[in-house]
Amino acid sequence: MKNKVLSDPIHGFIHIPSGLPYELVEHPFFQRLRRIRQLGMTFLVYPGANHSRFQHVLGATYLTQMAVESLQSKGTEITPEESEAVKTAILLHDIGHGPFSHALEYSIVDGITHERLSEFFMDRLNSEFSGRLDLAIRIFKNEYHKPFLNQLVSSQLDMDRLDYLRRDSFFTGVSEGAIGSTRIIKMLDVVDGNLAVEAKGIYSIEKFLIARRLMYWQVYLHKTSLAAEEMLVRILKRAKYLADKGEDLFGTPALRYFLYNKVGLRQFKSKEKVVGDKDALEIFADLDDNDIMVSIKVWANHSDKVLSYLCKAMKDRQLFKIEIEKKPFPKDHVAGIRKKIKDQLGCSNHALNYLVIKGSITNNAYNRDDDRINILFKDGSQQDIGEASDMLNISVLSKTVKKYYLCYPKF
């Protein structure tokens, strides 16, 4: 039984649990997460935001171990098998993420989310480990009879959020995201199979929800990060368009496979060897941020003017201007922007679709219609945090705010 201790800048010395979790950390599928940035293109806004998915999932696993021990100390029955399984589930919850987080989902992979890819990876690992992930997969899919175990992995108060808020706050320098994760964990309890928070922890939950909303506006939905991610998506879409037309593009073997083939659900389910001795899922496991960035550097000199323009702008951080409004942009305003860009760059209407980009963003720190955060009082009664809190902010936080954006080259 091996035991490894790591020095983490957020939680201090953390242990990688022995047994199955330790073996999974050593697997090449998991080691790939070292080469996937946690915050995608956000490093172009906050230079310190270069931390990886690898760091995050180890931190979330550490918090899950802490939560299991705290719940056990309060009389909640969690067997050694369940403890290992829930730690395995949180360890692998992000394993399906592609380069720069979500960019690949919206460009060259056909309609597959990272959550579904995580399930594919877990199934593949389960085969390799002779069914030892069976219970972890059931917990991950919320198919186990103890729902609180799934809630530790995926809920509005899961260990994933408790880690990434603190971690992203630290590496970006945005102090508003700093939360008392340890105190929140110590306040957790289980009632009727579901997580609840002891009443004395209500202020920590209020701060957690406010911090999450602020981090979304200041970091996750920062307008410049948003512009950079849209540019990256358009780069990949343009490369895919050129590949479909038969243009020869530079790319690593893994990236070229996704550029020159339509890869969706059927391909990821199949174990057919398509490149050398690898199937689609194994090829995806070869993709990381490095594949994309080295290609962008080379494509900056491509003969296609749209691709080269976008890649040069990304490489040199000449990011698009972005406007954000509470209402959709008037058609005449968008048309005016398109005309100015077309006149300035001398591009076609088709090319404008890669250069003038519309979209929307939403921010909802707490959704009462989703799994609720219940506050547990001494008399055994429970109340939703939105009702139990005496802060006006919580009722405001439960409302979805939608904004519209328009980004385009500066002129």
What's the pLDDT at 397?
67
Amino acid occupying residue 51: H
What's the pLDDT at 32?
96
Helix (H) or strand (E) holding 374: strand 374-376
What's the pLDDT at 387?
84
Mean pLDDT of 244-264: 95
Q: Are 212 and 373 in contact (CB under 8 A)?
A: no
Residue 174: name the closest of 46, 342, 62 by CA: 46
CA–chain centroid gap for 9, Å, is: 20
Q: What share of the chain is helix, strand, coil (3-state, %, to 5)?
A: 55, 10, 35
Q: Are 385 and 375 in contact (CB under 8 A)?
A: yes
Model confidence at 108, in pLDDT bands (50, 70, 90)? confident
CA–chain centroid gap for 322, Å, is: 23
**Alpha-helix residue ranges (DSSP H) falling in 3-98:** 20-25, 28-31, 53-73, 80-91
* Rounded CA separation 121/207 (Å): 35
Residue with tokens 């479909």: 244
Mean pLDDT of 53-80: 97
* Rounded CA separation 402/359 (Å): 11
Structure-block tokens of residue 239: 């490369």
Helical packing angle, 53-73 and 159-172, nearest 10°: 130
Residue 236: name the closest of 217, 220, 263, 255 by CA: 255
Considering only 134-148, 228-242, 370-384, which range has the smallest mean pLDDT? Answer: 370-384
Task: Name the average pLDDT for the chain.
Answer: 93
Residue 88: name the closest of 7, 18, 158 by CA: 18
**Alpha-helix residue ranges (DSSP H) falling in 245-380:** 253-260, 265-269, 280-284, 289-299, 305-315, 331-345, 349-355
What's the pLDDT at 294?
97
Position 392 pLDDT exceeds 60: no
Helix (H) or strand (E) holding 6: strand 4-8
Amino acid occupying residue 370: D
What's the pLDDT at 113?
86
* Rounded CA separation 61/73 (Å): 19
What's the pLDDT at 110?
80
Residue 363: name the closest of 224, 229, 218 by CA: 218
Report pLDDT digits (tens) over 289-302: 999 999 999 999 99
Residue 200: name the closest of 378, 381, 63, 75 by CA: 378
Model confidence at 68, in pLDDT bands (50, 70, 90)? very high
Model confidence at 8, in pLDDT bands (50, 70, 90)? very high
| Tally of residues, the chain | 411
Residue 111: name the closest of 234, 282, 262, 283 by CA: 262
Structure-block tokens of residue 58: 């180890």
For the chain, how long is the longest CA-to-CA vector? 72
* Rounded CA separation 307/296 (Å): 9
Report pLDDT digits (tens) over 219-235: 999 999 999 999 999 99
Q: Quote the pTM value.
A: 0.94
Structure-block tokens of residue 81: 């098998």
* Rounded CA separation 342/101 (Å): 31
Position 87 pLDDT exceeds 80: yes
* Rounded CA separation 201/16 (Å): 28
Report pLDDT digits (tens) over 24-54: 999 999 999 999 999 999 999 999 999 999 9
Percent of the chain residues topping a pLDDT of 70: 97
Give strand pairing partners of 408.
321
Mean pLDDT of 186-201: 96
